[in-house]
Every structure is written in C-alpha cells, then in structure tokens.
Amino acid sequence: MPAPTENNPGSFLGRISIRRNQVMSMDGNHDQELEDLELFQKHVGDRFSELFSSTTEDPSSDALLSIGWLRKLLDELLCCEAEFKAVVMMGRDPSQISKPPLDKLLPELLDRVIKSLDVCNAVTLGLDAVKNLQRLAEIAVSALETRPMGDGQVRRAKKALNLLVTTMIHEDKDCGSTKGTERSRSFGRKGFNGGNKDRGGGSLRALSWTMARNWSASKQIHAMSSNLTAPRGAEATGLASPLYIMSTILVFVMWTLAAAIPCQERNGLSTHLPFQRQLAWAQPMIGLHEKIAEEWKKKEKKGTVGLLEEMQKMEKLGQSLTEFADSFQFPGDNERLDEVKVQVEELADICRKMEEGLEPLQLQIREVFHRLVRTRTEFLHVLDQAGKLSTPTM
Amino acid sequence: MEEHKPMTTICEQDQHMVAAAQNILKGLASSKSISNELRKTLLDLEIQLSTMSTINERKGNGIKLLERELQFVEDRVKSLETNHISMASSSEYLKLVGEIQTLTQTLQQNFCSVNEKWKHKELVQRANEVMQVVMSKLEEELVQILVQNKQYFELDYMLFHSNSVDMVYDESYVSIEDEQINETSRSSDDGTIDLVNPSVLEDLKSIAKAMFGSNYHKEFCHVFIASRKYALDEYFVILEIEKLSIENVLNMEWYSLNRRIKKWIQAMKIIVQVYLVSEKRLCKQVLGNFGSVYQICFSEISRCSIFHLLNFGEAIAMRTHTTENLFCLLDMYEVLDHVAMDIDILFIEEVDSFVREEFHKLLRNFGDSIKSTFLAFRYAIATNPSNKCFPQGGVHHLTRYVMNYIKALVEYGDSLNLLLIDEVSTDPTASNDNSENSNLSYCSLACNLRQITTTLESNLCNKSKLYTNEALQHIFMMNNIHYMVQKVKHSNLCNFFGDYWLRRRVGMFQNYARSYEKVTWSSILSMLSDESVSTCGTKRTLKKKCKDFSVAFCEVYKTQTGWSVVDTELREDLQISVSQKVIHAYRSFTGRNSSDIDEKWIKYSVDDLQCCILDLFQGSSKSLHHS
C-alpha cells in the first residue's frame, strides 16, 4: 500500500476505499491490521500536529480557540471519526467486535458518544448566547463609529458596553450554576417581578440557553475521561487501540468546546485529562491541552465567559472602551480618539468574524452531532448482529 | 409644518414678510401666559420660517432659532425625567423623537458660514445627546410594554388529554398579569392568537418606527428578541415541557418517558401551529415595515425552543425500540408530519434552512425507526420460540397479540403505507384476486400485514407440531386461523386483507376441521361399518364392535372435553358436524343389527351420544361413567 502523502488530506476518502478493499480481501491478516492501526495513529498525530503548529508557527492562520480554529478542530474530529470507523468497522466480522476486550470498551466509547452529544447541544445553545453578545457589541460599534463623536453616542455605546461586560460575567455565572435554571423555573407563571431594577435587555436572559436541570458540562467531561485508560500489553496492538484513540479525541474536543464556548455549569472543569504521555500520536494533543488548560486556569480565577478567542478580545475591548466612555468629555482628546478608533475597528472586525463564523460553527457542531448519532447506531447494529449470530434462533 | 419644503426661490418681498412674521412669532412665544402646546407650535412655525430664510443667506437667525427649539426639547426631556412621569408617557417621548428628528434634519439641511460652523456642530451634538436620552427611555418603555402585556393561552384541560391528532383546540387566553380569561384577545380565523395585548400594538409600532427612524434599530431588536424569547421559554414551562439531556432520555424507563412524549406531542402542535404562527404574525405586525428584519427577529426568537423540541425527538429516535414502542413512535412521527408544512412556511427564509433541514432530518429518522421496528416485529414473530405445547389447543397468546397489534397499527395506515413503500416484496397471496372490492388491499401496508400473518401462520404450524395428538394439531390450527379470520372480518383490517385472503383462511380452518374429524372419527366410525359384519355376522363380533366403540368414544370424550374451542359458533358447528356423522353411523349400525344386538351391549343411546358430543371442546376434562 503506498504511503499516503501527509500534505494531501483531500485523498482521504480514496484511502478509505483502498483500505476497505484490502480489508475485504485480506480478512484476518494480522499484519495488514497492524499496518492499518499504525496508519490511523499516524494520521491522528499528523492532524493534531497541524492544529498545534498552526497556532505557534503561522501568525496569519486562525489563532488558538478562535472560531476559525474551532472549525478546523471539528473538521479534524470528523475526519478522524470517519477513519476510525473504517479501521474498526468496515469489512469486519461482527463477532470480532463483540469479543473481549471490545465487549467492554465499545459500550464505554458509546457512552462517551452520548455524553458528547449533550456537550454539542450545550455549546450550540452557548453560541446563541455569544450571538447576543455580538448584537450588543454591534450597538457599541455603530455608536462609536459616528463622527464627530459626541456625548450622546458615547453614552449610547456605554450602555451597550456595560450590558456586554455584565452579561459576560453573568452569563458565566448563570450558565455556571444550576441556580440560574432553578430560579427561572420558579418563575412559573408570574413572569418578571415588577420591581426588578435591572431591566435592560441583558437581564432578559432566556431560559432556552440552559440545558436540562442539573446537567453539568464539567461533570460530563469528567465522566467521559475518568475511565479512560490506555490499552496495555497485547491489547495495545489490537482493536482496543483505535477505540482508545477515538475516545481520547472525543474527550479532548469536547473538553475544548466546553472551555471555549459558554455552556451550563463549567465550575471545576477539569484541567487534567488522562493522556498517555509516551504515545507518539498523543503528543500534539497534549501540547494543545497544556496550552488551553493554562489559559483556563488563568481565566477561571477571574470568572470568564469562555476561552473563545473572539470573546476574550471582545471582553478586553469592551472593558477598555467602557473606561474610555466613562471618562469621555466632549469633544475628547485627539490621541485618545485615535486609539479608540483602532479599538472600535477591532471590535467591528470581531463582530464581522462572529457574524460570518458563528452560524457555520453551529452547523458544524450539529454535523458532529449527527455523525456521532449515526456511528452509535451503526455500532449498535453490529453488536445486535453479533448477538444474533451467537444465539441462533430456530 | 411637514408640508413646507425649503423653496429655492423666494423673492425679496417674501423675505420681508417672513422676517415680520418671525418677529411676531418670537414675541408671542416669549409671552409667559401661553401654554406649552401653543408655544411649541409657534416655535415650530418660526423654525420653518427660519429655514426659508437660511436659504436666503439669513443664517444667523436660523441657528439661534434652532438652538432655542433644541433648548425647549431638552427642557421637556429633563422635566419628563425628573418628574418620573409614568410609563404611559411613551407618546410624549415619541413626540419628542419626531421633533428631534425634524431638528436634526433641519440642521443637516442648513448650510452655514465658517464662523457659525462651531455652533452648528455643537447643536448637532446636543441633538444627538438628547436623542440618546429619549431613545434610552423608549427602550425601557419597550421592555415594560412587552413584559406587562404578554399573553399566554391555555388549552382546555379535557382537550389536552384527548388523543386525536386533528383535534381542534379551544384556547382560552390568559393574561399573565391578572390571570383572567380575556375574551377580547381571542382572535382571527387563521388560528393565530394575540401574544401581546392588542391594545399596545400601536405603541409598539410607533416605538419601532421612532427607534428605526433614528438608527436605534439594533437596540430595538435586541430588546424585542430577548423579551419575546423569554416569553416563549416561559410558555414551555406552562406546557410542562421539561428539558432533558440526551443521556437522560436514553436511560429513562419507558413508562416515565411516555408521559413526557405525550406532552411533547401536544407541545409540538401548539408551539408550531399556534404559538409560532402567532409570534411570526406579531413580528410582522410590529416590524413588517422594515424589510427582512422581522424574519430575522422571528428566527432568533424561536430557534432555541425549536432546537429543544427537536433534540428530545432525536433522543427518542436514538433509543432501541421494542414493538410496544412503535405506537409512540408513530404518534411522534405523525405529529411531526402533521406540522411539517407549517415548519416549512414559518421557516421559509434562507437563514432558517437549518431549522427546516433539522426538522426533516428528524422526520426521516422517525420514519427509519418505525420501519426498522416494524420489520423487527416480523422477525420477532418468526423467532418466537416454540418449545411448549399450548394447553387445550386454544388460541395462542402470540396469535392474539399479533392480531390485536396489527389491528391497532392500521389506525396509522396512511403513515405506515408511505413509510413501508419500499418494503414490498412480491406477495403471491394478493395477486390472483380479480374481484377485489377495495384497493387498500394492494397497498404496501397490506402486503406487509399479509406477510406478518403468513409468518405467524408458519410459526403456529411449528407450534402445532409439538402436540403428539394429531387431532389436536388440527384443532389448534383451526382455532388460531379462525381467530385471525374473525379479527380481520370484524375490524378495519378487512380492507387491508381483502376478500381473497379471507376466503382462503376460511377454507383453511374448515380444512383443519375436516382433518380433525378424519383423524379422530374415521377409525371409530369404521368400527360401525358393515363390511366385516356382513361376511361373518356373528354375535361375538357385534358385541366386540359395540364394546370397542364405547371404549373409543369414551376415550375421545375424556381427552377432547379438555380441548378448547373458545368461539361458540365454531364449537357448535364442529359439534354438529361430528354429531351428524357419528349419530348417523351409530343409528344405522344399531338399526341394521337391531335383531342381533343385545341391549346390554349398548352403553350409550343416541341421545346420550348427542349430549356427550356437546361436552366436547369446552376446555374442562370430563370422563364418562362406566356403568
């Protein structure tokens, strides 16, 4: 089998079909299987290594945890997932999948898949909250873009920015604890209590951004990763290996999404993921994880709406522009105004990125969702077949 | 004043007149004794005149007038702010917006000389500033109106518990504030309802017009979307739609899920067909004048809620389903199918293609789940284990289950027909029938149903082999086939199975009855035949014949009274048929040999036999006394 060239990810589907034929014809050939597994590991390593290096080596590419980068991450997840299925499922006798150690590992993987589905949904809702922030930032931008800048426009911007910054903090608090859900639940039919002073648009925080009661992103991630152990001994060269790899990828991607995008209950989101340090394919993932975990630790103390690069920038700009608005006196200091002009342009740029990127990101998360659902169904089908084969009915 | 437009040519005389009029107006306006209203009118007029003058290079006065006008607006805003006039004062603010807009326009139309440029700039700033204050007030006002005037509607409790898919809702609307049924908000023929009190609709429209007109549309949309979204979320709470994670749904017991599924089905209909339709109408009413804005707002308001509804469906479709779940799946499928058109219309815009696609994906998912569950049903029948004799040869549980199940299934005939359209294999049982009166029996569901009963028949056949008594095999088959025929005949199923199928099954169970008679009775009756008697008609053989017959009959009686033919008519038919044959043979035997037969040999009279035969197949074993 010709070694596929690394810098040609487009040939991926071709690889699968070639591989598939070979599996068909060489069923049971152990060497072939070993080769497949090695290739899979190599591809996973390559994919994440590219994600890793893009954030350090190439300043022109998408920054770590930016919308663009997350989309790349999801692309890689989808590719790895397809290849994983090709390795584990295609052309394989169902009975192989129902034998130990897979009889235990596969249900564990499927459980992680289910938990991933909920994480996908939680961040999809979180992106809606981000969209809300985008709207507020757009108000600030359009107010501060007006020339000449006067008190009216500055006050208008200040109002939006205040809401933006407080919403960011509140969002995280409310999303961060189930209190938010319960409080909203207790509304029942009474609706807003009339005396609520904090009546700006921001306080009309919708319940629809919340998941099920008591659902917690950090708990889910923890449950996904706690029983994740690398296969040892003979298992390390068998089918247990791709299952472990796929599980690791899922845990890592879901953890990253939860860290980046606001979602329900992230308090105590673990910064420790049980990676096997000596595995070559895991190195780039470990590198990425360390970077992100560091960011998370820094931000967690302050309380943050999420590590999404655009949102962090928005928060910084929001604070800086609020300071400007607080001290603004008509007609304003020219130097400061020029500074502000740059910042407003930056904020406008972020809004544009969000406008262009949030929707596709949401769609892509949904694609991951559907793909995982399908994979689960396919595996269940194979397990079902294996079950039928092992207990023949009359 | 809107009528006046700056004229390009005003002659010298006019200018003088304008100047004179301006002086008069100025004098009047400065008088302390006139009302605010009048002063305002005077100032408006003066401003208008000054605009005319400006064109004619009389700028100085114009700017001053504008400043005075602006000062007046600022004062009124301040007094509104400090007096904390109740929120009902939105009209006051709206009026101010109009004035500021006119002022700003006028300022923009003014060409000013270099030395006035600074002043001009300042006035623009001040106008912007006061506009910001007013806009911010309007925004608060908007929140207030939206929160205080939202309305929900409740379903009639009884109807809520009805199962009919096409039920007509009798909504009674309840205002959130006073919880009283508000008959006036009941609305229109198109099934929509008023989600905010219609009395504030005009206010909302005016606020929208003012805010959009002053380039504050983003603020308006932000507040509008957030509060309407909130209202929709609250409605979910009212409908008792609980948010569940996929993991929850997958791990939940079916019985507790069942209740939630019923609520989901209701919610799907109400949310899509009533609530969202009304929401879109509201968006259009308030924002219809501003292009596609209302569609974007609607989409943002409704998206998350639809997403929640769809996710519950996804989770249900992901479960592995037993045959019992099929009805629930069909209910969910039918409600999705039922609202599909509404979804397509509600989310017709390009931005909403996501919602439409997700919805149809889910609909397809349900279709697939239903199909595979349906096909699994046949497999389950085929593999139903046959390892124990069914007592008394009666109607097997499996037969009852399958027939009742498919009887309930045809209630979903239309949906199943569409879903199973690819699943039809060639079905020979339907083909030879020319006199079919109903074309339903050709549909895909009909073919699948016939396949199911064929599978059932072959499974029953296996089960019958377990009986060691061949006669009982026939009774068992007769009973079960007869049960199937009865179920089909007396229900909707008959349209699907068709006359041909029925005729063949009637023939089948009659055949089984005949086979039973043959197996049980032909050997016994042959004892009474003449052949042997005629050649060597000794008394001894006759005596033996009589004895053998009695013993055999006694034996049959003992076993077959314990057999069961539950259907009275079928039992009687069988008894009559047996009775006719046995009595006839017995009577002719005794008649022919009356001279040679000793009374003592005859154990049973004809009447006795007749009575005994009536005891057969009653399902309780009896034995005859050997007197």
The 10s digit of each residue's pLDDT in A51-108 is 988 877 777 788 899 999 999 999 999 999 999 999 998 878 888 888 888 888 999 9
pLDDT at B18: 65
CA distance to partner chain A, nearest, from residue B246 (Å)? 6
Quote the ipTM score. 0.86
Contact A215 B236 (CB under 8 A): no
B357: which chain A residues are within 8 Å (Cβ-Cβ)? none
Nearest residue of chain B to residue A388 (CA atoms) = B383
Q: Is residue B336 part of a domain?
A: yes
Domain end (from B118, B146, B174): B146
CA distance to partner chain B, nearest, from residue A101 (Å)? 24
Most confident stretch, A215-219, B81-85, B426-430 = A215-219
Question: Is residue B132 located within the same domain as residue B160?
Answer: no
Contact A155 B132 (CB under 8 A): yes
pLDDT exceeds cutoff 50 at B205: yes
> Taking the CB of residue B116, how many other CB atoms lie within 10 A of it?
17
Residue B580, Cβ density class (10 Å: 0-12 exposed, 13-18 middle, ≥19 buried): exposed
Instruction: For residue B435, name the pLDDT band (cuts at 50, 70, 90).
Output: very low
Residues B488 and B480 sit within 8 Å (Cβ to Cβ): no
Q: pLDDT tens digits for A168-212?
A: 876 555 544 433 333 333 333 333 333 333 333 444 454 445 788
Contact A394 B383 (CB under 8 A): yes
Contact B128 A150 (CB under 8 A): yes
Contact B244 A201 (CB under 8 A): no
Q: Does A367 touch chain B (CB under 8 A)?
A: no
Q: Which of B272, B260, B274 is nearest to B171 (CA)?
A: B274
Q: pLDDT tens digits for A139-174?
A: 999 999 987 778 888 999 999 999 898 888 765 555
Instruction: For residue B464, name the pLDDT band (cuts at 50, 70, 90).
Output: very high
What backbone torsions phi and psi does residue B151 show, to the nearest 5 degrees? -130, 145
Question: Is residue B277 located within the same domain as residue B325?
Answer: yes
Q: Is residue A249 part of a domain?
A: yes
Contact A204 B143 (CB under 8 A): yes
| B135, B320, B383 member nearest A393 (Cβ) | B383
Least confident range of A115-119, A146-150, B345-349, B534-538? B534-538
Average pLDDT, chain B: 82
What residues have CB less than 8 Å from B478, skipping those under 6 apart?
A: B509, B512, B513, B516, B565, B570
pLDDT exceeds cutoff 90 at A270: no
Q: Quote the CA–CA distance of B84 and B331 in Å, as a whole number.
A: 55
Q: Is residue B299 part of a domain?
A: yes
Whole-angstrom distance between the N-terminal and C-terminal Cα of chain B? 126
Q: Quote the CA–CA distance of A157 and A207 in Å, as a whole number.
A: 27
Tokens of A103: 């009889």
pLDDT at B81: 77
Q: Is residue A11 part of a domain?
A: no
Contact B130 A139 (CB under 8 A): no
**Buried-exposed string B352-382: b where 16+ CB fall within 10 A, e elsewhere:** bebbbebbebbbebbbebbbebbebbbebbe
Q: Which of A119, A382, A255 is nearest to B246 (CA)?
A: A119
pLDDT exceeds cutoff 90 at A110: yes
Q: Is residue A321 part of a domain?
A: yes
Size of interface A-B (CB pairs under 8 A): 149
B152: which chain A residues are within 8 Å (Cβ-Cβ)? 189
Contact B230 A153 (CB under 8 A): no
Question: Is residue B202 located within the same domain as residue B333?
Answer: yes
Instruction: For residue B82, name the pLDDT band (cuts at 50, 70, 90).
Output: confident
Domain end (from B368, B395, B413): B368
What residues have CB less than 8 Å from B444, skipping those under 6 apart?
A: B417, B420, B421, B423, B424
A160: which chain B residues are within 8 Å (Cβ-Cβ)? 219
Chain A interface, best mutation among B143, B176, B246, B359, by max A CB count within 10 A: B246
Amino acid letter, residue A300: E
CA distance to partner chain B, nearest, from residue A198 (Å)? 11
pLDDT exceeds cutoff 80 at A135: yes
pLDDT at B176: 34
Question: Is residue B247 located within the same domain as residue B126?
Answer: no
Q: Is residue A214 part of a domain?
A: yes
Contact B234 A191 (CB under 8 A): yes
CA distance to partner chain B, nearest, from residue A110 (Å)? 11
Q: Quote the CA–CA distance of B396 and A297 in Å, as a whole number.
A: 67
Q: pLDDT tens digits for B309-359?
A: 999 999 999 998 888 889 999 999 999 999 999 999 999 988 889 999 999
Length of chain A (residues): 394
Domain end (from B453, B485, B518): B518
Nearest residue of chain B to residue A122 (CA atoms) = B245
Whole-angstrom distance between the N-terminal and C-terminal Cα of chain A? 44
Domain boundaries, position A152: 63-80+94-186+203-390
Q: Quote the CA–CA distance of B612 and B575 in Å, as a whole number.
A: 10
Q: Is residue A191 part of a domain?
A: no
| B128, B230, B300 member nearest A152 (Cβ) | B128
What residues have CB less than 8 Å from B621, skipping those under 6 apart?
A: B558, B559, B561, B562
Question: Is residue B187 located within the same domain as residue B44?
Answer: no
Domain boundaries, position B513: 384-518
Q: How many domains does chain B have?
A: 4
Amino acid letter, residue B160: F
Average of per-residue pLDDT across A12-34: 53
pLDDT at A236: 78
CA distance to partner chain B, nearest, from residue A263 (Å)? 13
Question: Is residue B492 located within the same domain as residue B598?
Answer: no
Q: How many domains does chain A have?
A: 1
Average of per-residue pLDDT across B48-64: 59
Question: Is residue B200 located within the same domain as residue B341?
Answer: yes
pLDDT exceeds cutoff 90 at B27: no
B197: which chain A residues are within 8 Å (Cβ-Cβ)? none
Average of per-residue pLDDT across B113-124: 77
Question: Is residue B131 located within the same domain as residue B170?
Answer: no
Average pLDDT, chain A: 80
Q: pLDDT tens digits for A42-53?
A: 999 999 999 988
Average of per-residue pLDDT across A271-289: 87
B307: which chain A residues are within 8 Å (Cβ-Cβ)? 121, 124-125, 208
Average of per-residue pLDDT across B255-261: 92
Q: Does A387 touch chain B (CB under 8 A)?
A: no
Question: Is residue B187 located within the same domain as residue B308?
Answer: yes
Per-residue CA distances from A71 to A63, A68, B288 (Å): 12, 5, 35
Least confident range of A29-33, A247-251, B296-300, B477-481? A29-33
Q: pLDDT tens digits for B442-460?
A: 888 999 999 999 999 999 9
Q: Quote the CA–CA distance of B389 and B393 in Å, as a whole number.
A: 8
- Chain A residues 197-236 within an 8 A CB cutoff of chain B: 199-202, 204-213, 215
Average of per-residue pLDDT across B193-212: 92
pLDDT at B327: 93
Beta strand pairing call for B171-175 and B151-155? antiparallel
Q: Does A346 touch chain B (CB under 8 A)?
A: no
| A121, A206, A394 member nearest B233 (Cβ) | A206
Q: Is residue B538 part of a domain?
A: yes
Q: Is residue A3 part of a domain?
A: no
| Percentage, residues of chain A above pLDDT 90 | 45
Nearest residue of chain B to residue A160 (CA atoms) = B219
Q: Quote the CA–CA distance of A337 and A324 in Å, as a whole number.
A: 9
Question: Is residue B336 located within the same domain as residue B352?
Answer: yes
Q: Is residue A49 part of a domain?
A: no
Q: Quote the CA–CA distance of A175 and A171 in Å, as a whole number.
A: 6
B352: which chain A residues are within 8 Å (Cβ-Cβ)? none
Average of per-residue pLDDT across A214-224: 90
B219: which chain A residues are within 8 Å (Cβ-Cβ)? 139, 160, 201
DSSP A269-314: --S-----TT-GGGHHHHHHHHHHHHHHHHHHHH--S---HHHHHH
Least confident range of B110-114, B384-388, B408-412, B508-512? B110-114
| A138, A160, A208 member nearest B233 (Cβ) | A208
Contact B125 A115 (CB under 8 A): no
CA distance to partner chain B, nearest, from residue A122 (Å)? 9
Average of per-residue pLDDT across A220-244: 88
Most confident stretch, A126-140, A197-211, B167-181 = A126-140
Q: Is residue A273 part of a domain?
A: yes
pLDDT at A148: 75
Question: Is residue B131 located within the same domain as residue B156?
Answer: no
| B179, B222, B308 member nearest A135 (Cβ) | B222
Question: Is residue B305 located within the same domain as residue B172?
Answer: yes
Contact A210 B243 (CB under 8 A): yes
Give, for B173, the enclosing helix (H) or strand (E). strand B171-175
pLDDT at B189: 53
Instruction: For residue B400, name the pLDDT band (cuts at 50, 70, 90).
Output: very high
Amino acid letter, residue B197: N
| A151, A160, A370 member nearest B129 (Cβ) | A151
What backbone torsions phi and psi does residue B143 show, to the nearest 5 degrees? -60, -50
| A124, A191, A207 member nearest B307 (Cβ) | A124
Average of per-residue pLDDT across B88-97: 78
pLDDT exceeds cutoff 60 at A8: no
Contact B244 A114 (CB under 8 A): no
**Buried-exposed string B403-415: b where 16+ CB fall within 10 A, e elsewhere:** bebbbebbebbeb
Q: Quote the CA–CA distance of B512 and B510 in Å, as a whole number.
A: 5
Contact B129 A152 (CB under 8 A): yes
